[in-house]
Structures are given as C-alpha cells and as structure tokens.
Structure 1
Amino acid sequence: MALDPQAKFLLEQMEAAGAPPMDSLSPEEARATTDFSALAGEPEEVGKVENQTIAGPGGEIPVRIYTPKGEGPFPALVYYHGGGWVIGNLETVDVPCRLLANRANCVVVSVDYRLAPEHKFPAAADDSYAAAKWVVDNAASIQVDAERVAIGGDSAGGNLAAVVALMARDKGEISLAYQMLVYPVTNHSYATESYTENADGYLLTKDSMVWFWNHYLQSEEDGKNPYASPLLAEDLSGLPPALVLTGEFDPLRDEGEAYAERLREAGVQVEAKRYDGMIHGYFWMPGALEQGRQSIEHAAKALKQVFEDKVVTR
C-alpha cells in the first residue's frame, strides 16, 4: 500500500520544520520539544475530569479520571500513554481519552507512570500495575464496576498494558476484562522486517527506538524479561481478550502482529487490525489523520462490546 496522503503531508510538514532527531536529544530536551497536541484536535467535553494522585510503589502516581455523563457504575479503561517510557504525559493523550470515555461510555483513568531514565525498568510497569489494581480495589469510589475494568495504551503504553495483563494473571490479585494494545512495543529487538522497511522517514525511527530502550532498561538482560518484552513470555494463556492495532509504516508493526498471533495460539480471543498507509502515532492524531479518528472509534466500539457482553454473561 502507499503512504496515506494525510500522513504523507504531515511528514513533509515535520521535515520542513527541521526538528532534530529524537536520538540526538537529551530526555529533558525531548520532553520539552515533543508536542503532538495540535494534531489531536479539539478536546471533547466529558461528564467530569478530575486530577488526583494514588499510592504507588515508588511514591504518588498522578492520574486523570474522565467520567462520562450519566449514572454509574460505569466500566473502566486504565490507559497508559506512549512515549518510549521516556516522554509523554497526561496531556499527550487527553483528547483520545476523552473520545474513548464518551464513545465507550466508560470511565478512563489515564496514568502518569514514572519515566526513564530517572526511573528505569521495572518502575513504569510497577506503577502501571499499581494503578490498575487501585482502580479495581477502589472502583466504587470512582463510579466504576470492578468486574469491568480494561487496560490499554499506545506504543510504550501498549507495552505496559500487555505487561500489566501478564502481571495480573501471574499475581492473581485482580481480574481484567480486556487489553487494548495500540501499536505496542512487545520485544527488545530490531530484527523484524518492519524495522528494516520503516527504519527511517516515518516519524518513529529505529534509532529513536534504540534510544528509548537504552534509557528504559538497566541492562541488556532486562530486555529478555517478559515484563519488558511480553512477546518473550513462555506462556500467554489465561490472559484477557485483546484488540491489537498496528500501522503499516511503523517499525513496531511486526512485533505487534506477532504478539497478536501468539495470544491467538495461546487460546486468547484476539482482534487484530493493521491500518494501511499509517505511520506510528496515529492514535494521538485524530485531528489531523482521519484514520487516527477511525482507530479511536474502532477501539471504543470494541471496548463497549466487551463491557456489554460482560453484563450479559454475569
């Protein structure tokens, strides 16, 4: 397939702006200069938006809770933003979280987990699990039905959602209804065909992924840990149903699709969809990319269906 015309235009604009490559920056510089909010479009009104902090393994974790209009208890989505575990924050995914809350009619709890390199692996994963557990344990206080809690995220956030699903199964403390994985990082490896095809020129580059991983991991050995590379988990059975979205012109395409296939082989119900012509980051860009908006609509519809099915089968 050809590059989507809207994505092509966006890449041309970015190239003309002449921003330095991510891997040439310090983490602080990358955080200060990376802002895709203009591409997200106008934030939709939701019933209520509340910022608070919750207890985490390394101190307080900021969260933003989006509650739709209407009467609860609602189902919930615990959402982890992308940014290679190094950049990104609650603002990065504000518009997508609002859209998901309204379209899936669920509470969305967006999690500001600790970032690397100040907090290396497994800090982000530990915070992410703690946030999911907090939502289940404190469901009534935020108008949530504890039996209908899903997790999701994009890119590094998709990695964290997949890892939280593994942790929840392994620890046996909480039960999760669904995992929504948007172009997730699943393996500390750059050996796929999509890494070769899309190494440069499509927003996320191979060099920037190397930069992200190097900041996140304490050692190469950490990269073999399933809680960093869920694709390397020996057993993927017993995990919640999954939606896996990928993009054609994304270095992460193949590892996301490989994870979907592994889940399927393990008996997990999976829906996998590749957005043809799309670059990495489209989920953040519903204001600039029609397929970005479509992907959010798709995810919300899948969430809503799972949440409704959960009620019927109870």
Structure 2
Amino acid sequence: MVLFEGEDANPTNPTNRFWLHIKAVILRVLLRIGMLLHGYPFPIPPRPSFIRTIEPRSICSGRVKLRFYTPKTYHKTKKAGHKYPVVVNFHGGGFCIGKATDDSRWAKTVVDTCDAVVVGVDYRLAPEHPFPAAVDDGVDTLLYLESHALELGLDIRRISLTGFSAGGNLVFAVPLRLHFRSHLDSELSSSESLNSIPPLHRSHSTDVLLRVPSGPQPPINTNIRIVCLCSWYPILDFVLSRDIRRERSILPEKALPPFLTSLFDESYVPNRSDRYSPFASPYRASDDMLRDALPKDIFMYMCEWDMLLQEGQEFVHRLEKGGKKVRSMMIEQSMHGWDKSPNPFRDQRHVDVLYQAACEGMRSVFEHGVQQQQNVTFLT
C-alpha cells in the first residue's frame, strides 16, 4: 500500500484550498526576488523578443502567454521563407510558482547554439488551476504553434520539448497527452460528424482522458513532430510519497523541505486518484504509451542530492529498455534546482557548460531532422 503525506487532510476542502493559495502567492513574491538576484552575474539574461497569447479553446482552457526568444536574424530570414526549429520550454516551480522568464539563460543558450526559436510557456498555475490544466496548456501550445507555423516561420516537424522540475514532468506528460487526445479525436471523428463533436470539457480532462487504452495506438492526426526531449531533474511519480523519497535520498537534509513539497503536491494533484494518471505521473505510463508517444532521442539531467534522483534513474532504464536513445547525466554534489540559485556569486560557468552540452545534443538531432526531410524531398 502506498502512503501519501497528509492522508488525514481533505484537499477538496475550500478552506484548505484557500490557505494553499495564500502560501503560493507568498512564495511567488519571494521567487520573484530570488530570480531578480539570479539575473546576475553578467551578462544579464535576455528578455523575450515578443509575446503571444493563446485564447481559451474550450471552457476548461485558459489564456496562456507564450514568450518567444528568437535569433538575431529571425525577422529578416523569416521573410525570406526560412523555417526555424522550435524549442518549447516549461518552467519549474512545483506547478504553482514560477514564470517562463525564469529560464531566460537556458533560452539564450538554446537560441545561440541551436539557431532555434524558443517558446517559453506561462502555463496556468495551481492551486487555482490544478491538474490537468498545465498539461492541457502544453498541448494547446503545440496546436497553436502548428496553426501559426507559417506566420511565425517555424518548422513544426522539428520540435523539442524542454523543462525544469515541474516543467521536466511536462516534457513527458505533454506528448503523452497530445498522443492520447489525438487518438480520442480520431475515434470521435470516425463515429460522428465533425459538427457533432462536443467541446473538450473539464469532465473529459479528469475522467475520459484519464482512461488510457491499452495496446499500440494509431498515428497522431497532426503534422507536429516532436524529435527530442530534454528534461532537467523532473518529478515523474506523484504516487510515491515524499517521505519515502527522502528516506532513499543520498543526503535527505539536502532535499526540499516538507512544507514546500506538500504545498506543491496538494496544489497540483489534490485528488489522489489523479496521481495515478500517466499525464500527472509519466512514470505510471504503460510501456506502449512511452513507446508510441515519446520521440527516440531523450536527454535527462538529474541532481545527486535530489530526492527525485532514483525515480529518474529508474525511468531512464525503462525508456532505454523500450528502445529510446537516452543520454542521461547525474550532476554531482548538486541539489534540486541547482541551476536557479539566487546567489549572484555562484559559479554560473558550471551551469553554462551543461546547458551548452545539452544544446549541442539537441542541435545534432535538429540537423539530422533536416537531412531526413531533404532525403524525403529527393525521393519524391
């Protein structure tokens, strides 16, 4: 039997949700101060080149801001018909704090190394918007980029998903969700006329979409092609309790404190049954889902002193066993979120070296994608 933290608490109690909201607001203010300090040392990370807003697609959707980071020649080459690979990034913060601009240093490294467009997703935060809001916002982002690809000069056949901590979870959850939603849409369109398909309501998000079909799935009904994933110290399993994670940590005293992890977990997945969903806990996805929904190339970076290290390593073994090409690394003597330190005197060069290595790996995948597209064009 799996034991959860706070079993006696009633997560659906309005009073509990109110206090979760107050705590989250306080942490958001503190994080803004921390990220202000994180902007140093020089060079200061760049601001987004421009911002787009996704309007709600259904009653369970919400407005989502997308922050674009582009190469210097973007506007000129876009007019000439050039299409850039796309890196969609999901920030960290336990699903209830943080902003897309927190990863501006990462975005700069991606743009400079991969000559790609980076899209930072300001997904909706818990506890105001619990699971599966963040996952749905990630899927809606991909669909928005697909529908505006020509206008934005994007090559939607070369998309990489990246993310940190909670965002590292979305790196896996979003393609799983996209694959299943596309499968569900295909079933609906084959049995009903397009005009009779109901909109995606909250009941579909929390009930219908949590029931995952077994066995291989048909091809995704979209032109989107996710070619690689890059996940930094992700949380992959909300079923396993935080107490158990701390006990098996190398240095439990270096792990995130209980008051913080409880806030994150109760805010994002207050309903215990939702924690078994593969869209909340990618670790719980079937081997078939992982095989069919995730790309072949996957990069994973984990921290030695993080309570999430062991589940990350176990997930890497599953992915490799399923035929994925996983390049993983344990960052020695590092805590969860080690690259987001507010200390302006930190050794930023160490972080930049790992950022650069990850980006070079993604660039190689993007270049391979171009060669494949050229080969297909030649054959046709």
TM-score (norm 2): 0.71
Deviation of the 1:59 alpha carbon: 2.5
Q: What is the CA–CA distance in structure 1 between the aligned matches of 2:121 and 2:247, rounded to whole Å?
A: 29
Distance in 2 between residues matched to 1:77 and 1:198, nearest whole Å: 34
Please point out which of 307, 324, 327 is paired with 1:268.
324
Structure 2 residue aligned with 1:178: 228
**1:217 is matched with which residue: 242, 259, 269?**
269
Identify the range of structure 1 (107-116 vs 286-295) with the bigger mean alpha-carbon deviation.
Answer: 286-295
**Is structure 2 residue 358 aligned with structure 1 residue 292?**
no
Tell me which residue corresponds to 1:201: 254
Read off the aligned partner of 2:38 and give its amino acid letter.
Answer: L
Report the Cα offset of residue 264 of structure 1.
Answer: 1.1
Aligned pair in 2 of structure 1 residues 73, 127: CA closer, same or farther (>3 Å)? same
CA distance in 2 between counterparts of 1:199 and 1:136 reads 43
Q: CA deviation at 1:90?
A: 2.2
* 1:84–1:156 CA contact under 8 A, matched in 2: yes
**Which one-letter code corresponds to 1:49 in the other structure?**
S
Pairing 1:88-167 to 2, within 5 Å after superposition: 88-167=98-177
Question: 1:208 Cα deviation (Å)?
Answer: 2.0
Counterpart check, 1:77 vs 2:102? no
Cα-to-partner distance string for 1:276-310 (whole Å, 9 max, x where unaligned): 11111133359733332222112211111110111
The Cα of 1:45 is off from its aligned counterpart by 5.2
Structure 1 runs (4+) deviating above 4 angstroms are none
Give the Cα–Cα distance (whole angstroms) in 2 for the partners of residues 280 and 293 of structure 1.
Answer: 17
Q: 1:230 — aligned with what?
A: 282
- Does the residue aligned with 1:279 lie in a helix, a strand or coil? coil
Single out whichever of 190-199 and 103-112 deviates more from structure 2: 190-199
Match of 1:63 in 2: 66
Deviation of 1:201 (Å): 3.2
SS at match of 1:115: coil
Partners of 2:54 and 2:248 lie apart in 1 by 37
Which of the pair is proportionally richer in strand? Answer: 1
Match of 2:368 in 1: 309
Choose 76-85 or 95-104, whichever is displaced more. Answer: 95-104
CA contact (8 A) 1:151 1:180 kept: yes
Letter in 2 for 1:237: R
Cα distance in 2 for residues equivalent to 1:132 and 1:28? 28
Q: Is the 8 A contact 1:56 1:131 kept in 2?
A: no
In the TM superposition, what whole-angstrom CA distance separates every residue of 1:240-279 from its partner, at most 9, and x where no partner exists? Answer: 1210111111111122222222111111111111111111
More deviation, 115-124/209-218: 209-218
Mapped partners of 1:197, 1:44: distance in 2: 33
Q: Distance in 2 between matches of 1:122 and 1:277?
A: 33
Percent identity over the alignment is: 28
Q: State the distance in 2 between where 1:153 and 1:283 align.
A: 12
SS at match of 2:254: coil
Residue 200 of structure 1: how far off its partner (Å): 3.1
Q: Deviations over 1:139-175 (max 9, x none)?
A: 2222211111111100000101110121233322332
**8 Å CA contact retained: 1:44, 1:99:** no
Aligned pairs, number: 290
Aligned CA RMSD, in angstroms, stands at 2.3
Q: Which runs of 5+ in 1 are unaligned?
A: 1-22
Q: TM-score, normalised by structure 1?
A: 0.85
Equivalent in the alignment of 1:26? 23
More helix as a share of residues: 2
